[in-house]
Amino acid sequence: MKNDLGDEARLLHILDCIEEISIATNGLSQDEFEQNHIVRIAVVKWLEIIGEAANHLSNEMKNANSHIEWRYIIGLRNIVVHEYFGINFSTIWHIVKEQIQPLKESIKKLY
């Protein structure tokens, strides 16, 4: 059933999660983020969903858009799912502040 979703739906899931991350972290400093366990866990969950959606995109979509680092996105999902007590929230903060918006712009061009 989950594989019945097409690329368009998966891209929308990615965009929705990026928007949620942006809203949840808006105005926060890195220290505030790292001390707010509810926001941290929410952001990790949204990153997990982004990775899961990316993992289920068609090979045609990923190959045609190889400028997007799909392996990195999917790899991050695997880390946050399997290393939940070993997550480096400083790294997560860097991803949120430096890499999420460029990903959003790339995904918007595909959607």
Which residues are catalytic, by number?
77, 82
If you search the block for the tokens 């999917």, which residue do you land on?
74
Structure token digits, residue 51: 């990775």
The H-assigned helical ranges of 56-99 are: 59-64, 70-82, 89-94
Tell me how long the chain is: 111
User: How far does CA 50 lie from the centroid of its chain?
Assistant: 4
